[in-house]
Amino acid sequence: MHKLGVRVVHIAERDTQVTKEPKKYREFVNTWSSDGFISEGVFQPAELGWGTHEKELPEDAKQHATGSRAAIYLKRPGAGTRVRTWTPIEKSFNGFLVTHNESISIAEYFSVSSNDKVVFRPTVHYAYHPSDIAVLSVDELLGNDSIKPDPRLIRVAMDEITSGHDELGILVMGHPNVSYWYGSVVDVHSARSLAPYNNATSLQVAAGVLAGVVHCIENPKEGVIEAEDVHYKRAIEVAKPYLGKLVGEYSDWTPIKNYSHLFPRPVDLNDPWQFKNFRVY
């Protein structure tokens, strides 16, 4: 990444699946673990790997005093923090900056040090737009003082999904070719044909879990490792049959490409890859 000039990496995901059964009042619905999404989106802070190219910390950011210090966190929940991002089908959209372990592990893995000082690190974070029914659920939950719903009102949408897909991949930005997205695109009907009793998102999640389980079985003495240290060719070999279409696409998109002076916001027009340009205020 250092040699290629990468500045920012998004785990950029857009879920467009829709259901024939609408969300009920106070119900929380998601296309994967609703409890997991509530936990990482509402009860955990927005967390991101912090790049060396960043000029200033956000006003609501905190740094860690120990460890590799590869990450920062914001004093607000991930589902209350939105960022601009891009995927091949959806194009530009706003996603939630939810915490995920790879936001930190990728930033740390690709750090370059000289004389015990970090001289390069990309900014890395999730940018997730869940299904529309999940967005409604999050909005209602946050508006209700983040009081977790009764367990009887927490649902994972599965058989009731009628259409839609999930784009899940990596958006690599800042290099001479501007932006490049690579990842999995699975529609719900293909997901069900590949593995019954699934939807597009659950299959993408399960494919990664399967690859991890196979790695543990085949390498029982490696101990606890980060995902970046898994034998990636074998992991892709195991997961690939369940990932639908693997898509790679270049784009000239930046977070300030269509910036309008009609509604000014904090931006750095001289450097599109500053975090302040991605953040939705």
Q: Which secondary structure element, helix H or strand E, spans residue 200, and what is its range?
A: helix 200-218
Give the residue extent of every domain in the chain: 8-278
Taken in order 124, 122, 45, 209, is the CA torsion positive or negative?
positive
Q: Is 124 helix (H, G, I), strand (E, B) or coil?
A: strand
Is residue 232 within 8 A of residue 157, CB to CB? The reply is: no
* Strands (DSSP E) found in 176-273: 178-187, 245-251
Task: Return per-residue pLDDT of the chain as tens, 281 residues.
Answer: 999 999 999 999 999 999 999 999 999 999 999 999 999 999 999 999 999 999 999 999 999 999 999 999 999 999 999 999 999 999 999 999 999 999 999 999 999 999 989 999 999 999 999 999 999 999 999 999 999 999 999 999 999 999 999 999 999 999 999 999 999 999 999 999 999 999 999 999 999 999 999 999 999 999 999 999 999 999 999 999 999 999 999 999 999 999 988 988 999 999 999 999 999 98
Backbone phi, psi, residue 173, to 5°: -130, 160
Query: What CATH number labels 8-278?
Result: 3.30.360.30
Residue 270, CA distances (Å) to 9, 50, 51, 265 in order = 19, 19, 17, 14
- Widest CA span of the chain, in angstroms? 59
Beta pairing partners, 187:
165
| Residues contacting residue 258 through CB under 8 Å, at least 6 positions apart | 92
Is residue 29 within 8 A of residue 17, CB to CB? The reply is: no
